[in-house]
Amino acid sequence: MIQISEDLLLRPVQPEDAEAIFTLTDQDRPYLREWLPWVDGTKSVEDSLEYIKFSQIGGKAGTLLNLAIIWKGDIVGITGFNKIDRTHRIAYIGYWLGRDYQGHGIMTQAAKALTTYAFNELQSNKVEIRAAVGNKKSRSIPERLGFVQEGILRSNEWLYDHFVDHVVYGMLADEWEDK
């Protein structure tokens, strides 16, 4: 659990979160679908529960960490490490936020806290954030935090009916310490 402020908390997803996560996904389906390839496959609370079970298995194995974003007592999105590569000491941050909760600095604070967590708790040397080239809102997070744009991965993700390129942002542990 990562307490960021009085109003903002990150904690591992739990089975009892399935309904809230599904409801948030379902109400923002067209909005989330623009950039997230898993939205069409999330058709029921059971699908969200399966995601939570997968997250718990990965969390126990230390290969990923999916966290509910709790803002003012409500689940407003998901963030965490999509992959934790202990061999190469790289943690990969991923995130999504319900449409109504944007513009409050929630995701910037969450990504900042996760970056610190990766370096201090996971002993990572690098944190990466990847976002579709056209996803300006998602790209603004690492840019705001001073991550370095390392390159473009061409046709990196199939998004329903087309490929999208991804921008790769990176932050090294010694760079983060200097901030």
Q: Report yes or no on 83 lying in a domain.
A: yes
Q: How confident is the model at residue 22 (pLDDT cuts 50, 70, 90)?
A: very high
Interatomic CA distance for residues 54 and 51, integer angstroms? 5
Residue 152's DSSP bridge partners are 167
Return the pLDDT at 153: 98
Q: Report yes or no on 7 lying in a domain.
A: yes
Return the pLDDT at 27: 95
Contact (CB, 8 A) for 101 and 134: no
Return the pLDDT at 178: 76
Return the pLDDT at 177: 84
- The rounded Cα 63 to chain-centroid distance in angstroms is 14
75 contact partners, CB below 8 Å, separation of at least 6: 17, 20, 21, 24, 68, 69
Q: Report yes or no on 8 lying in a domain.
A: yes
Interatomic CA distance for residues 157 and 162, integer angstroms? 8
Burial (CB count within 10 angstroms: exposed 0-12, middle 13-18, buried 19+), residue 47: middle
Return the pLDDT at 135: 96
Q: Report yes or no on 145 lying in a domain.
A: no
Query: How many distinct structural domains can be found in the chain?
Result: 1
Once rounded to an integer, what is the mean pLDDT over residues 13-23? 97
Q: Report yes or no on 175 lying in a domain.
A: no
Q: Report yes or no on 164 lying in a domain.
A: no
Q: Report yes or no on 70 lying in a domain.
A: yes
How confident is the model over 82-135, as pLDDT tens digits? 999 999 999 999 999 999 999 999 999 999 999 999 999 999 999 999 999 999
Write down the pTM of the prediction. Answer: 0.94
Q: Report yes or no on 167 lying in a domain.
A: no
- CATH number of the domain that 43 lies in? 3.40.630.30
Residue 92 structural domain = 2-128
Once rounded to an integer, what is the mean pLDDT over residues 141-158? 97
Give CA separation, 120 vs 6, 51, 81, 91, 114, in Å. Answer: 22, 27, 14, 12, 10
Query: How many helices and strands (H and E) does the chain possess?
Result: 6, 8
